[in-house]
């Protein structure tokens, strides 16, 4: 019993160490990439026009996504009222004897 516990503890420690080491490597790579490729502000004139167009497009995409989600929710709700329940305890096929 003691040998199994120590083996399991060792495997856990090694696994967690490898996981956190890999996480530290990824954080270091991201930090180095930020240093090599810093964020650049858009030009004053050209950037404003482009950002306004982009913001209008993103609003339309968000609105379209919301409409699609609402339509899917409505269809799902209406199907749920007419169809048999998908919960096994309430489904008629499970109550037959």
Q: 84 near 91, Cβ under 8 Å?
A: yes
% of the chain exceeding 90 in pLDDT? 35
Q: Three-state DSSP class for 51?
A: helix
Positive or negative, the CA dihedral 77, 81, 82, 87 is positive
pLDDT of residue 2: 83
Q: Does residue 92 register a pLDDT over 70?
A: no
C-alpha distance from residue 77 to each of 67, 81, 85, 88, 90 (Å)? 15, 7, 12, 19, 17
Of the listed ranges 9-13, 48-52, 67-71, 87-91, the one predicted with least confidence: 48-52
Question: Does residue 10 have a pLDDT over 70?
Answer: yes
Q: What is the pTM of this model?
A: 0.39
């Amino acid at each position: 019993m003691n040998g199994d516990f120590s083996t399991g503890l060792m495997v856990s420690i090694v696994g967690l160490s490898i996981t956190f080491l890999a996480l530290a490597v990824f954080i270091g790579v991201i930090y180095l990439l930020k240093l090599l490729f810093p964020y650049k502000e858009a030009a004053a004139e050209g950037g404003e026009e482009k950002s306004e167009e982009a913001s209008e497009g993103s609003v339309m995409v968000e609105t379209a996504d919301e409409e699609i989600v609402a339509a899917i929710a409505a269809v799902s709700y209406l199907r749920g009222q007419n169809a048999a329940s998908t919960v096994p305890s309430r489904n008629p096929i499970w109550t037959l004897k």
